[in-house]
Amino acid sequence: MTTLQSNAPTGDIETAWDRHKFDIKVVNPANKRKYTVIVVGTGLAGASAAASLGELGYNVLNFCFQDSARRAHSIAAQGGINAAKNYQGDGDSVYRLFYDTVKGGDFRSREENVYRLAQVSVNIIDQAVAQGVPFAREYGGLLANRSFGGALVSRTFYAAGQTGQQLLLGAYQALARQVHDGKVKLYTRTEMLDVVVHDGHARGIITRNLVTGKVERWAADAVVLATGGYANVFFLSTNAMGCNVTAAWRASKRGAFFANPCYTQIHPTCIPVSGGYQSKLTLMSESLRNDGRVWAPKAEADCWDSDKGRVGRKPTDIPEAERDYFLERRYPTFGNLVPRDVASRAAKHACDEGRGVSYEGRGVYLDFSEAIGRLGRDEVGERYGNLFEMYERITGDSPYETPMRIYPAPHYTMGGLWVDYNLMSNVPGLFVIGEANFSDHGANRLGASALMQGLSDGYFVLPSTIGHYLAKVGVRAKSTDWAEFTEAEEQVRARIDKLLSIKGKRSVDSFHRELGLEMWQHCGMARNKEGLAGLLERIPQIREEFWENVSVPGTSGELNQVLERAGRVADFLEFAECMALDAYTRDESCGGHFREEYQRDDGEAQRDDENFQYVAAWEFTGVGNKPNLHKEALEFRYVKPSQRSYK
C-alpha cells in the first residue's frame, strides 16, 4: 500500500488555485499545435474541455459513442447549476458554497478541490450566458435563482426543468465551432475500448467504430477521460441506457486507481418500477419536495398486496389520521426537504416495514393535495406542470387528482478514477474529468452540483493543468506502431471474438438485470457485512456464467448493438466486485454509503473519522484477484468534521 499525494497547493486555501495557476508550467502558444490531446466523451466535461483545448490551439481528437455529441447524458439533468454569485443578496459566498459542499459530502472530499470548484462556479455562469444559454430570468431581465436540495440560500441557476440540456447545448455549440474551424476532430459512434500506456505514460486509445466494427488505434500526447458514471451497474437507474463503466474500467486495468467506488447516490424521487420488463427509471425533480408531502399508509391493508397486485383503499380515500408523514415526523425541522440520502433511506425503511404502495411494495406517496388547497391548482401547475405531465405520460395517473408514487433510484456516482489536484490520474498523461473522476463530492453530492463540477473541470481546470503536464514532458515522438498498441488492439479483438463465439442461451440483458438486482439488494441504499460478503461470492459466479452462456448474435464487422452491450456488461461484471469490496472494507457509514451496522441510535449514519478519513483507491491486480488498496489521507483544515443533523 502506498500513500497517494494530492499535489494540492499548501497554505491559504483562498489563494491556492491562483497561486497554483502561476506555479504550473505553460505551453508556448506556438507549440500547442504540436500536441495532440484525446478527449473521450462529449458531455458537459468532455465537450467543454475539447472546445476549450481546441480554442487554445491544441490538436484535439474527440470521441463519443452516441450518434451526435449533443446526446451525452448530461442533457438529462433537470434541476440546475449552483454558483456562488450571491445575486439574491442572501448571504451566499464562495466560502459558503465550499462549506456546504464539504459538509454535504460528509467530510470525504478533498478541501482544496472543493474550494476551487466553488470559486470557479461564478465563471461558469458568465461563460454560459455569453454563449447564449437561456437561463430563467426575472421580469427585470436579471437572472433568476432558486433554492435547491435543502440549501439555505438561493444559488441555483436553471432553465425550466432542462438545465442540463441547455448547458450541454452551449458546450456542444462551442465544440461545433471548433470542429468547423478544424481544431477539433470529432468521431461519433466510436467507442473507446482501451487506453494505451507507453513508457509509463498514457499515449493513446483503441476504439471500435460502431457502424463498421473497425478497430482503430489513436496516438496522442495525453488522454482525457470524460466518460461519466457507473450507476448502470444497478441495471435500473436514471442513467441513459448507454452509460457505462467501460472506459474508466479499462483504464483501471491499465493501472489507473479506482477511488471510492462504493459512493453511489440514490435519488429519492423517481417513478417506481412497474414490472419486470422495466429498462430504466425516470427521475422526477427534487424540487417536487418543496410542496409535496411524502407519506405511507399506517394500516397494512392499505399497502401493496402482492397477491392481488394492487393496494387496498385508494390513497385519496385514506383519512388524514391514517397516514404517516414519516419525513415530517422523523425530521421536524427539515421535514420533506432533508438531503437525498436521508430521504431515500427513510422511504426504503417504510417499504421494508411492509408499507410500500407500488409494484412489489416499493414506493411511497408524494402528495400535492395540501399544496393545491393552499396555492390553488393553477399555481401548482405553474410550478410543477411539466413534471406532472411527464408523470402522467409514464404512469397514466394525474398528480392533480391522486398522489404520485415515488421510490428511490440510483442516479449518480461520486466514486471514480482517482485524480490529483491537476485532475491527472496516477498514470501520467491520463486525465479524468466530470463524473468519471472521484474528486469533489465526497460521499454524497448536493443537488445542482454535478453540472457545476463537469463544467468547472472542462472549461476552467483541465485546460490549465494539462498544459503543465505537456510542457513538462515536451513534444515527444508518437506512433501507433508501438508494441503496446499492437498488444492492446489484439486484446480488444480477442475479447470481441470471444463474446461472439460463446453462442449461449441467455441474453445480455438477463445477466445485466441479475447483476443489477444483486447490487441493488446488497450494495444499494443500505449495505451490511454479511450481504456484501455474499455479494462478493455471487458476482464471480454470474461473471463465470456470462462467459459460458451469453448469446451475442451477429458479427463484429457490422453495427451490432448486442455486442456493444455485451462488452459493457462484461466490464460491469468485473467492476462490481471492486465496488462491493470497497463497501465491504469501509466499516463506517458516510453519505451515500450506509452500512447498517454503523448507525446512531436515531438511525442516522455513523462516520468513523479516526479510521476512515481517507480516499480508498484500488489498484487492479487481475480479474477475480483482490485489488490493492492505496490511501489518500483527507485533512480538514477549514470545515471541521461534525455529524450531520437535519432534525
Partner 1 sequence: MNLTLHVWRQKGPNDSGAFETIQASGISEHMSFLEMLDFVNEKLESDGKQPIVFEHDCREGICGCCGFMINGQPHGGRPRTTVCQLHMREFSDGEELTLEPWRAAAFPVVKDLMVDRNAFDRIIEAGGYVSVRTGSPQDANALPIEKDHASRAFDAATCIGCGACVAACPNAAGMLFTGAKVTHLGLLPQGEPERYTRVVAMTEQHDAEGFGHCTNHGECSAYCPKGISLDVIARMNADLLKAQFKNRD
Q: Which of residues 211-230 bind partner 1 (CB under 8 A)?
A: 211
- Shorter beta-carbon distance to partner 1: residue 32 or 478: 32
User: Residue 577, CB half-sphere, CA atoms under 13 Å: how many?
Assistant: 24
Told to check if 646 binds partner 1 by CB under 8 A, we report no
**152 backbone dihedrals φ, ψ, rounded to 5°:** -90, -5
Q: DSSP letters of 482-546?
A: SHHHHHHHHHHHHHHHHHHHH--SB-HHHHHHHHHHHHHHHHSSSB-HHHHHHHHHHHHHHHHHH
Query: Element (H or E) spanning 646, and its range?
Result: none
Take residue 419 and report the three cell numbers written for it.
Answer: 485524480
Which residue, among 529, 454, 461, 290, has the nearest Cα to 387 in the 3D structure? 290
CB 271 within 8 A of CB 391: yes
CB 475 within 8 A of CB 181: no
Told to check if 153 binds partner 1 by CB under 8 A, we report no
For residue 224, the minimal CB distance to partner 1 (Å) is 15
- Shorter beta-carbon distance to partner 1: residue 357 or 536: 357
Stretch that binds partner 1, among 14-22, 26-34, 171-179, 444-452 (CB under 8 A): 171-179
**208 backbone dihedrals φ, ψ, rounded to 5°:** -125, 125
Take residue 217 and report the three cell numbers written for it.
Answer: 488505434
Stretch that binds partner 1, among 224-232, 272-280, 446-454, 570-578 (CB under 8 A): 272-280
For residue 283, the minimal CB distance to partner 1 (Å) is 8
For residue 550, the minimal CB distance to partner 1 (Å) is 10
Strand-pairing partners, residue 204, are 196, 219
Binding residues for partner 1, rule CB under 8 A, total 82
Cα–Cα distance for residue pair 542/538, rounded to 1 Å: 6
Among residues 349, 495, 506, 631, the one that binds partner 1 under rule CB under 8 A: 506
CB 55 within 8 A of CB 458: no
Told to check if 549 binds partner 1 by CB under 8 A, we report no
CB 237 within 8 A of CB 411: yes
Among residues 26, 152, 299, 394, the one that binds partner 1 under rule CB under 8 A: 394
Window 374-393: contact mask with partner 1 (x via CB under 8 A): ---------------xx--x
Among residues 48, 82, 121, 449, the one that binds partner 1 under rule CB under 8 A: 48
Told to check if 88 binds partner 1 by CB under 8 A, we report no
What torsion, rounded to 10 degrees, do the Cα atoms 164, 165, 170, 173 define? 140
Tell me the pairing of strands 404-413 and 430-432: unpaired
Site for partner 1 in 567-626 (CB under 8 A): none
Stretch that binds partner 1, among 119-127, 484-492, 525-533, 571-579 (CB under 8 A): 119-127
Site for partner 1 in 325-384 (CB under 8 A): none
- Shorter beta-carbon distance to partner 1: residue 146 or 478: 146
Query: Element (H or E) spanning 286, and its range?
Result: none
Which residue, among 234, 183, 228, has the nearest Cα to 514 in the 3D structure? 234
Site for partner 1 in 440-469 (CB under 8 A): 459-460, 463
Query: Element (H or E) spanning 63, and its range?
Result: strand 59-63
Cα–Cα distance for residue pair 82/158, rounded to 1 Å: 9
For residue 280, the minimal CB distance to partner 1 (Å) is 5
Told to check if 76 binds partner 1 by CB under 8 A, we report yes
- Shorter beta-carbon distance to partner 1: residue 369 or 395: 395
Among residues 123, 369, 521, 599, the one that binds partner 1 under rule CB under 8 A: 123
Query: Element (H or E) spanning 444, and its range?
Result: none
Among residues 14, 90, 199, 241, the one that binds partner 1 under rule CB under 8 A: 241
Told to check if 405 binds partner 1 by CB under 8 A, we report no
Stretch that binds partner 1, among 61-69, 97-105, 302-310, 483-491 (CB under 8 A): 61-69
